[in-house]
Structure 1
Amino acid sequence: MSLPQPVPPSWKDLGKSSNDLLGKDYHFHGTSLEVKTATPSNVTFKVDGSRDSKNSFVAGNLEGKYTDKAHGLTFTQAWSTSNALRTQIELENQIAKGLKLDTTTILHPEKSAKSVLLNAAYKQPGLHSRAVLDVFKGPTFTADTVLGRDGFLVGAEASYNVTEGRVTKYSAAVGFSAPEYAVTLHSLSNFSTFAASYYHRVSPDVEAGAKAVYDVKATSPGVALEVGTKAYLDSAAFVKAKINNSGVLALGYTQALRPGVKASFGLALDTQRLNEAGHAGPAHKVGAQFVFEA
């Protein structure tokens, strides 16, 4: 007899364990600062800024969010240094249990550009489905669904251009997820890109994962491979390391300095150029991130 089925991950979260292991906490593209605060009236503020080490460009974002948990309502307003205004309104579990609706608008006053996204997500045991309508781009309707049973996952995504009257994109994926490990296979971009990811929680303190990507249309032949690991030093610190088949080694270290204060440092090295005297090419990168949360 099968156990009660949990809600499967959404399409974008298939392979999330491996993607997070290989993609998060590697802050080597510059320096960034993030400050989060909350008020007793369910309003949170977030200010973040970053300086790109490659072009010294500084970008920032100011965000305010109000949450009314009793009515399932969330209102978010954000303003970036590129003068982009983003407004998001979310309503969850009000019309039907498991149904979430949200509207996102982005306005660029200087460019006279705007976008409106209408989103819907429906979650039930064994089912996670989403739909997005991009009002001004196309309009384009995108839908995806993930089915799950006994750890096995099957998902698909498709985009339809309403004006052109044709399917512009389609993808599919299968996977298996267990508490200690997960395997996911993707066929993306109209079945022209294939990806396989693997995640394994070796012990409570050690995680490992790998990802392989093959692009049929890529100019360089072969499979792009990346492997990585994460190890907790104690309850307040962990280190991460990964390397790809191009010889780029990335290292990350994250330390909780005190409750609400976290510092992360990253380093990327091109191991094929370590013996070149005085080399400081673009493949060698270093960076840091500081997060303050109250």
Structure 2
Amino acid sequence: MSSPFSSDIPKPVQVNLAPAFPVPAFGDLGKAANDLINKDFYHTSQATLDVKLKAPNGTAVTVKGKQGFDGVTTGSIEGKHTLKPQGTKKSRSSSPKAQNGFIKLLSFMTPLPAPQRTSLYLYIMGFPNGTDLQEKVGLTLRHAGVTITQAWTTASLLDTKVELNDVLAPGAKIDLHNLWNPSKASSAAQKINFAFKNPNVHSRAFVNYAQSSGNIDAIVDVVAGNEGFLVGGEAAYDVSKAAITRYGIGLGYVAPTYSASITSAQNLNIIAATFYQKVNSAVEVGAKAGYDVQAQKASGLELASKYKLDPLSFAKAKINDRGIAALAYSTKLNAGTTLGLGLSLDTQKLNEAGHKIGTSLTFEG
């Protein structure tokens, strides 16, 4: 029976402890400013063509072609497919009995820690071998948000990537990456990437193996954040040398309309600072500055701005400390076609050749 005074008891207030912005990876400190400065400028190639298609089964196919100013044409084709999560089976066990020429000793499906869509399948089988019993043990993961990506480039490189999301816990991810040139038997390179993130921590580990040299190296980075403040670091380790080859640290702050970061990389010898601000719904500005500690001099300064002309078009401009200016314009011609135009000018040598003009065309379907 409820108390007659229950209506006077205040209900507990639910507080959302999750940060307003997800904690980025170490390489993404200053991402907003870096994207504004580096992306959507089309003067880096004479012509670029991207075709993005999606099959009925969800497979995304991307075809890219690029013609450089040196006249060399390169291209690639990539297929990316994410397997749909499968349900789990209830655990079961049975006594040994013959099934299609072999004896099945034990089989069960057990869910791993969250999420529920992840399950681990362990089986032990016995195969009749005369009077003996030959056993086989297997372990299968089925399957935790698996994404398979296969790419091929005109440089004869086969790039295969398998991504396993939420493998052992929410936010845990494993990437298996293999890069191989079929014309060079010893050119294969394997990478295993581990990542874990939650509302306050984003950590990663990259293990690289080069078959040509037999060398193994690893890179570890981590970023922690609270109420918009970010702090992180990275370190690289060479197994053959048994030594740390490089390290760096970084600080950052993220707010709804602006962000700032400062990182020190290459054993704290290169310092880079970034700033980004969304002035209003149509205007964005950003800046990046670098300093070389060993040379004791500035290593670069870039300023960029983006202006949204209308819901389908935008214009961008940037300039660096060497007087190189770049302009870009992008517009959606229709629902699946985007046109980009780019121009690069050396403002200190306007009467000389060396300016660049580029175009980009993207089809999506």
TM-score using structure 2 length: 0.76
After superposition, what is the alpha-carbon deviation per residue over 1:208-246, rounded to whole angstroms, capped at 9, x for unaligned? 01000112355x943411101000000000000001111
Which of residues 219, 226, 239 is equivalent to 1:149? 226
SS in 1 for 2:316: strand
Which of residues 39, 42, 52 is equivalent to 1:36? 52
After superposition, what is the alpha-carbon deviation per residue over 1:162-184, rounded to whole angstroms, capped at 9, x for unaligned? 12110001011001001100000
Max radius of gyration: which structure?
Answer: 2
| Separation in 2, partners of 1:4, 1:44 | 32
Structure 2 partner of 1:60: 75
Instruction: Report how far residue 109 of structure 1 moved.
Output: 2.1
2:167 and 2:174 in contact (8 A); partners too? no
1:3 and 1:150 in contact (8 A); partners too? no
Map 1:249-288 → 2, pairs under 5 A? 249-274=325-350, 276=351, 279-281=352-354, 284-288=355-359
After superposition, what is the alpha-carbon deviation per residue over 1:146-204, rounded to whole angstroms, capped at 9, x for unaligned? 10000000010101111211000101100100110000001011111000000000001
Question: Is 2:211 aligned against 1:134?
Answer: no
Question: Which segment drifts farther, 235-244 or 129-138?
Answer: 129-138
- Identity, % of aligned positions: 39
Question: Is 2:305 aligned against 1:229?
Answer: yes
Structure 2 partner of 1:12: 27
1:241 and 1:251 in contact (8 A); partners too? yes
| Separation in 2, partners of 1:51, 1:217 | 38
Residue identity in the other structure for 1:125:
P
Structure 1 partner of 2:173: 100
Gaps of at least 5 residues in structure 2 are 1-14, 86-143
| Separation in 1, partners of 2:300, 2:209 | 35
Instruction: Report how far residue 3 of structure 1 moved.
Output: 4.2
| Separation in 2, partners of 1:171, 1:11 | 10
| Separation in 2, partners of 1:2, 1:152 | 17
Instruction: Report how far residue 29 of structure 1 moved.
Output: 2.0
Instruction: Report how far residue 4 of structure 1 moved.
Output: 2.5
Structure 2 partner of 1:166: 243
Residue identity in the other structure for 1:81:
T
1:2 and 1:150 in contact (8 A); partners too? no
Instruction: Report how far residue 205 of structure 1 moved.
Output: 0.3
SS in 1 for 2:160: strand
SS in 1 for 2:34: helix
| Separation in 1, partners of 2:84, 2:276 | 34
Residue identity in the other structure for 1:203:
N
| Separation in 2, partners of 1:192, 1:94 | 37
Structure 2 partner of 1:196: 273
Residue identity in the other structure for 1:4:
A
Gaps of at least 5 residues in structure 1 are none
1:7 and 1:125 in contact (8 A); partners too? yes
Residue identity in the other structure for 1:266:
G
After superposition, what is the alpha-carbon deviation per residue over 1:78-99, rounded to whole angstroms, capped at 9, x for unaligned? 1000000010001101321110
TM-score using structure 1 length: 0.94
After superposition, what is the alpha-carbon deviation per residue over 1:46-92, rounded to whole angstroms, capped at 9, x for unaligned? 10000001x11100001111111424010111100000001000110
| Separation in 1, partners of 2:177, 2:344 | 35
| Separation in 2, partners of 1:144, 1:150 | 20
After superposition, what is the alpha-carbon deviation per residue over 1:245-267, rounded to whole angstroms, capped at 9, x for unaligned? 11111001000111121111110
| Separation in 1, partners of 2:167, 2:243 | 34
Which of residues 76, 87, 96 is equivalent to 2:160? 87
| Separation in 2, partners of 1:215, 1:94 | 41
Which of residues 47, 50, 53 is equivalent to 2:66? 50
Structure 2 partner of 1:216: 293
Alignment RMSD (CA, Å): 1.5
2:339 and 2:362 in contact (8 A); partners too? yes
| Separation in 2, partners of 1:23, 1:141 | 27
Structure 1 partner of 2:184: 111
Report the CA distance shift for 1:160/1:75 in structure 2 as closer, same or farther (over 3 A): same
